[in-house]
Structure 1
Amino acid sequence: MKYDYIFAGAGLASLMILDKMIDARLLDSKKVLLLDTNDKNDNDRTWCFWEEESGDLDDLVSKKWEKALFTNEKQTIDCLPDCSNYKMIESIRFYNYVLNKLKKYPEIIWKKEKFISFEDKKKEVIVKTNTENYTTSILFNSIFDASKIENNKKYPLLKQHFIGWFVKTTNPIFDANCATFMDFSIPQKGNTRFMYVLPFSETEALVEYTLFSPNLLQEGEYEEAISSYLKEKGATSFEIIKKEQGNIPMTVFPFWKSNSKNVLHIGTAGGWTKASTGYTFKNTIKQSERVVLLLKNLTIDFNKFHKPNRFSFYDKLFVGVLYKNNELGKKIFSNMFLKVKSKKILRFLDEKSNLKEELEIILACPKIPFIKALLNLL
């Protein structure tokens, strides 16, 4: 059977595109196939993002914070400008929201089959699963092949890797209205290491030990660091409610070169994760809106989807510096947040800043490592 659209993987990127397509009435009378072996009935991750005032997805937000701190052993600042909030969406709420909308479209089929490969035949795409072959006019592929970037010499690969504990302490040690973006007061051990804290009450929080570095740690090292951090913050005892862990690639590898007229790589597989931060959610919204605009055209060509900009160059510099000098992360972020107004930094990370703001941020960073990285790129 031939489909108008096939989505390989039913994660954030695929469901976000489908949600935007529904709103744009692009799925009426269309045959769509979703391929994913997971039912998406678990809360398997959380997405966080900063946003000014209200947003389109506020009904899905399970918690928001009016303050978000950057801290090291010498100084602490609030990173959120006035009228901004740091918001959290639990994945299960987003999955249910989109999947309930999809129920109104009987032509959308979900098959719990494993995506194996695809073959682009120019006029159609052949998609192979573990049980069957399908044809489609357009393939959206979100299946990430880590081998493409693990062994690539040209594009350095940093990893944002972490283990997080959802904890409940016996005594109050958290401020429920204040998240912590980065706490660099912990030992760096030659890397870029920080704590990320999302409090839900005075005694409940998600505490993540996070690194931006080329190599992973042994599991025990992450957990020992979290335990020590909680004790230093005054926790007399605590219970671990749930654990989570992640490994997000931070790379400027040109995933977009694998796109074709009829095939678009999306999500992490399409380079939609911002290389310098690992943040994906807001960029997925932006890229999904661009997909819908392209689908409205009479002639669709995903070769033209990628739009390079100067922020890709900044990301390349940042990843190159931290890859070679991983111990500089604390200094880089401290200089940025303590010397530049946080509103400008958040605009920069959202790729909405102007050249004057960007120059101010660049000049706040350690100059020699960035000059060397620039010369290497040139």
Structure 2
Amino acid sequence: MKHYHYIFTGSGLSALMTVYEMIKSRKFEDKSILLIDENLKKTNDRTWCFWEDTNLFDEIVSKKWNSALFANESFQKVLNIEPFQYKKIKGLDFYNLVFELIFKQNNIHFSNQKVIDFEELGNHCVVKTDSESYTCNKVFNSILDINRVKLQSKYPLLQQHFIGWFIKSKEAVFNPNCATFMDFSVEQKGNTRFMYVLPTSETEALIEYTLFSKDLLSTSEYESEIENYIQKLGISEFEIIEKEQGNIPMTCYEFWKHNTKNIINIGSAGGWTKPSTGFTFKNVTKKSKELVQFLQSENDFKKFHKKDKFWFYDLLFIDVLYQNNALGSKVFSSIFRNGNPITIFKFLDNESSFLEDLQIIWKCPKLPFLKAVFNRIIKF
């Protein structure tokens, strides 16, 4: 069996971002690294958006917005998010950027295989694919085992699930300078449902129907709602350029408790997705930097993860929506109606101070969250 210092099981966002940070640091040039994935990452399978005030991956940012719209059935508010910008990156552009860098490194390799198992055996690990096996010092696993969450009841599981259409319309109805962050004016049907719109011109946009709920819908239900929304925008003729769909687990389950000395779970498999919103890209950039720094001084992956106040905030939010899934529109509307957009975005990025946290929390409906706090005290 061939031996590597580090093996990544999966080559999605978290794995590629961690390898990218390793390369940038230049501290791992003497380490052999293998990424294993059955997916070659040759298609544009997803879109990542995030807000920031620096130049993070600006070379592949395909669109920027200086303002964002929040709406529900009774009000609309255009959010001035300066000095932030809301930015969009296509999945394929990110894959190409990182793989181009990877293929220039003599110590990093990619294998197009399916990982079927991995385990720690004393001071080394074994990774098995459908055709061969490898040994290594450390495993970085990004393959999510969702059954770990489903087979327990302490931490409820919601799902952020969506279908999006990239369309080109006959009518010029979009404002290319303003993204629709959340539009709750669509019928809620007992869930948390909203539209998400990313316009790239007056006639082109990604329109995404998104839910935070326990159960998925049939494809026709998502697409019917998108068609209704397009009609509501005043569009009579359009063509679908591309489609995307996804399902992001929303849970505060302690994935990191499955880390061992030599195996770490990363990405969604490690709890790197923000539970209350499903935001992934910005969280992963932070976690990957922290992990690469950690590797330079520590050897035991069980020491990597630390809970913070934001994990507890997310836990309460998931508890509230799990008990009453229709409350999502009310919670987000209470925050955005009179809140400072910059403070809100800092809060959603886990970067707010405790005083700023209180400003956000105080705007939320009190009774559901007090009940959630009480129930959590009992469970803990």
Task: Give, in whole Å, the separation in 2 of the partners of 1:216 and 1:119.
Answer: 32
How much has 1:374 moved relative to structure 2?
Answer: 0.5
Letter in 2 for 1:319: I
Deviation above 3 Å: which 4+ runs of structure 1? none
Which consecutive residues of structure 2, in runs of 5 or more, have no partner in the other structure? Answer: none
Task: Give, in whole Å, the separation in 2 of the partners of 1:74 and 1:32.
Answer: 54
Mean Cα displacement is larger for which, 98-107 or 274-283?
A: 98-107
How much has 1:81 moved relative to structure 2?
Answer: 2.3
Letter in 2 for 1:346: F
What corresponds to 2:306 in structure 1? Answer: 307
Letter in 1 for 2:32: K
Task: Give, in whole Å, the separation in 1 of the partners of 2:126 and 2:271.
Answer: 23
What corresponds to 1:91 in structure 2? Answer: 91
How much has 1:80 moved relative to structure 2?
Answer: 4.2
Letter in 2 for 1:361: I
Q: Is the 8 A contact 2:66 2:81 kept in 1?
A: no
The answer on 1:227 being equivalent to 2:227 is yes
Task: Give, in whole Å, the separation in 1 of the partners of 2:376 and 2:275.
Answer: 16
Task: Give, in whole Å, the separation in 1 of the partners of 2:113 and 2:285.
Answer: 26
The answer on 1:262 being equivalent to 2:262 is yes
What corresponds to 2:100 in structure 1? Answer: 100
Measured on the aligned residues, the alpha-carbon RMSD in Å equals: 1.1
CA deviation profile, 1:53-103 (whole Å, cap 9, x unmatched):
x31311110111111111112222233422221000111111111111112
Q: Is the 8 A contact 1:166 1:206 kept in 2?
A: yes
1:152-301 correspondence runs (5 A)? 152-297=152-297, 299-301=298-300
Task: Give, in whole Å, the separation in 2 of the partners of 1:235 and 1:55.
Answer: 35
Q: How many residues align?
A: 376
CA deviation profile, 1:322-377 (whole Å, cap 9, x unmatched):
01101111100000111321111111111111111111211111111111111000
Letter in 2 for 1:7: F
Task: Give, in whole Å, the separation in 2 of the partners of 1:105 and 1:233.
Answer: 49
What corresponds to 1:131 in structure 2? Answer: 131
How much has 1:304 moved relative to structure 2?
Answer: 0.7
How much has 1:44 moved relative to structure 2?
Answer: 1.1
CA deviation profile, 1:11-68 (whole Å, cap 9, x unmatched):
111110111001111331321111001111111111100011x313111101111111
Task: Give, in whole Å, the separation in 2 of the partners of 1:304 and 1:124.
Answer: 18
What corresponds to 2:341 in structure 1? Answer: 342
Q: Is the 8 A contact 2:276 2:318 kept in 1?
A: yes
The answer on 1:37 being equivalent to 2:46 is no
Q: Secondary structure at the match of 1:279?
A: coil
Task: Give, in whole Å, the separation in 2 of the partners of 1:269 and 1:100.
Answer: 25
How much has 1:111 moved relative to structure 2?
Answer: 1.1
Task: Give, in whole Å, the separation in 2 of the partners of 1:51 and 1:166.
Answer: 24
